[in-house]
Every structure is written in C-alpha cells, then in structure tokens.
Amino acid sequence: MNKLISASIDVTKIPKDKLIRGEKGTYLNIDIWINEETDKFGNHASINVQQSKDERDAKAKKVYLGNGKKLFGWDDAAPANVASAKPAPAAAEDDEIPF
C-alpha cells in the first residue's frame, strides 16, 4: 500500500558543502525519521541532513531541516483530504535561495 507524508524544510539551513553536483542536478542526502509519537504540532516525521560515518562517530550535531505529517496509507494516521494540503507558495524570481 502506498503511504504519503507531506513535509516542509527550511532551505536556508542547507549547508552548501553538503550539496552534491551531479550530471542531472544538484542533490542533498537527507534522513527522514518516522516518529512513533506525534510532536506537539502533530508532526510524525523529522528531516535532517545525512551525516557521514565520521560525523556520526564524532557525535556531531545534526542539521535539522524540517518535519512532516502522515497524510494517508498509515494505520495510525487520521484520514486526510490530500487535495486540501496547501502547497508552499512559489518563490518569486527575486527571492534569494542560499545556493
């Protein structure tokens, strides 16, 4: 069965040194954690920048980017109307993006 999580991230927190330039685009490796309990805002997932083994071994602080909510396909998620999920507004051409 398909499952859907709707999420938002703060792109200003993306470290430029973590961006990977490839032939078809620029990528960022992330980790998405599905939490067993919701937080006080009703979020079920958290998103952070993926750490290297060296960073994990050094217990480096994670770069938290955002969070998400279960929409449908989850046994414990309340039914939601996907059409009512509001997409983020499109950035204007003069908006600055940190990369």
> Could you tell me if 77 and 4 are in contact, meaning their C-beta atoms sit under 8 angstroms apart?
no
Q: What is the per-residue DSSP string for 6-54?
A: EEEE-GGG--GGG-EE-SS-EE--EEEEE-SS--TT---EEEEEPPPHH
The pLDDT score that the predictor gives to residue 96 is 62
- Minimum mean pLDDT among 8-12, 24-28, 31-35, 69-73: which range? 69-73
pLDDT confidence bin for 82, thresholds 50/70/90 = very low
The pLDDT confidence band at residue 17, using thresholds 50, 70 and 90, is very high
Q: Which band of pLDDT confidence, cut at 50, 70 and 90, is reported for residue 72?
A: confident
- Pull the structure tokens for residue 4: 């859907």
| Cα separation, 85 vs 76, whole angstroms | 19
Model confidence, pTM: 0.71
Q: Map out the domains of the chain as residue ranges.
A: 4-74
Instruction: Return d(Cα 50, Cα 28) in angstroms, integer.
Output: 8
